[in-house]
Amino acid sequence: MRAALLLATSLLTAVPAAAQTTIGAIIPLSGASATQGEDQRRGIEIAVEEVNAAGGVLGKPLKVIVEDSGGRPPSALDAAKKLVAVDKVPAVIGEYSSGITLPMAQYLMQEGKIHINAGSSSNKVRQIGPTSFSVIGLEAVSSRFSAVDALAMGWKKVVVIGPNNAYGHGMSEGFKEEFEKIGGSVASTLLYTEGQTSYRRELQQAAQFKPDAFIYSAYGKDAALINRESFELSVNRTPWYAIYFTMCTADSKPEFVTGQYGMDLNFIGANGKGYEEAYRKKYGMGFKTSFSGYGYDAVKVFAAAANKAGSAEPEAVKAALMEVGKSYEGATGTIAFDADRQRMLQPYLKLRRGAEGMEQR
């Protein structure tokens, strides 16, 4: 079931549509990646509050209509069609999973709307089209980082595990290419079907290769099941390395992931301390995942571009985004777009789950 949440201050509830600037966001508020989606929603919410406190967009309050994709491509596409046809938004942020983002964003591009990717890393995002922008780095950069990090851990022979979707294919192929380029060996790549009730068969199959480590990436609830069953089967006695650490571990019980290594997006850049403080103040906790700030930055980048253009119309915003994106200091660091409108400078973290929680290495 899809839920629509209007992210605006209470003062906006009675504001006529013409008196506000409205954009959309499509993220997973239910399904396997609900934890990550909720963290992105929080980032969007804080950004809207800050933009409106600073005067809004084009002198009008900003509203973001957030649609729940449920982690399913058809739901995301339906939500995009509703945002375009009914809400008539000029821009949409989302989705989270690459396999959902691609068809959704291709529709938005065909409709001439701005698409801002704040969660997907597939290199295929680069091919969506001229109205699609990414405030998050793609796999070409993350694969190189994780491969070098894994080899530096002393692992020469690994098994790669990931979902059988656009993200999983890109992640596994990118890691294999980079790892073998620097002298490592991928004994096997295992791509699993999402949403299963058990992954024991896949784990037992992977263990037969006796690797130095398992390199894996999985969405929230699937990751939680994989981590639990790995623990129960003692497969976790071999080191595990998570690509996007918080995505892979946020929904898992601590005892199932203690000792895991991994990499993740840098949560906060030099300009993000104020956002981090606002998040803690509003929600009474730190970030749940590494993805919150990217939802926040997506809203801020759109607002900056629309204000620079003096218009929220897609063509005007597209041109202004390229200007703003020459070097925008976001909460997650410097956002600079390349010729294909993709973020070039993406910082990453080296992480480990210790007895007391997540640690930087």
- The CATH number of whichever domain residue 196 belongs to comes to 3.40.50.2300
Let me know: does 177 contact 187? Beta carbons within 8 Å: no
Q: Are residues 149 and 257 in the same domain?
A: yes
Residues 6+ apart with CB under 8 A from 243: 142, 146, 162, 171, 175, 215, 216, 217, 262, 263
Let me know: does 243 contact 216? Beta carbons within 8 Å: yes
Strand order in the sheet with 132-134: 4-7, 62-68, 21-27, 91-94, 114-117, 132-134
Q: What is the dihedral of CA 173, 192, 135, 277, to 10 degrees?
A: -130
Strand order in the sheet with 213-216: 185-192, 157-163, 213-216, 240-243, 261-265, 348-354, 357-360
Can you give the pLDDT at residue 1? 42
Q: Are residues 134 and 34 in the same domain?
A: yes
Pairing of β 328-330 and β 333-335: antiparallel
Q: Are residues 274 and 126 in the same domain?
A: yes
Q: Please report how the helices 34-53 and 292-309 are oriented relative to each other, as an axis angle in degrees rounded to 10.
A: 40
Can you give the pLDDT at residue 2? 42
Can you give the pLDDT at residue 18? 67
On the CB side of 19, how many CA atoms lie within 13 Å of its CA? Answer: 6
Q: Are residues 121 and 16 in the same domain?
A: yes
Q: Are residues 154 and 248 in the same domain?
A: yes
Q: Are residues 249 and 328 in the same domain?
A: no
Let me know: does 98 contact 167? Beta carbons within 8 Å: yes
Phi-psi region of 195 (alpha: psi -120 to 50; beta: other; left: phi over 0): left
Q: What is the DSSP letter of 295?
A: H
Provide the residue range defining the domain that includes 218: 140-267+349-360
In one-letter notation, the amino acid at residue 48 is V
**H-helix or E-strand spanning residue 259:** none
Give the bridge partners for 4, in sequence order: 67
Q: How far is CA 79 from the centre of its chain?
A: 18
Q: Are residues 83 and 23 in the same domain?
A: yes
Q: How far is CA 81 from the centre of its chain?
A: 22
Can you give the pLDDT at residue 15? 54
Q: Are residues 177 and 261 in the same domain?
A: yes
3-class state of residue 122 by DSSP: coil
Q: Are residues 273 and 132 in the same domain?
A: yes
Can you give the pLDDT at residue 17? 61
Q: How many domains does the chain have?
A: 2
Q: Are residues 226 and 354 in the same domain?
A: yes
Q: Are residues 127 and 9 in the same domain?
A: yes
Below-50 pLDDT ranges, the chain = 1-14
> pTM for the complete prediction?
0.88
Round to whole Å and give the CA distance between 204 and 216.
15
Can you give the pLDDT at residue 10? 35
Q: Are residues 112 and 188 in the same domain?
A: no
Let me know: does 188 contact 214? Beta carbons within 8 Å: no
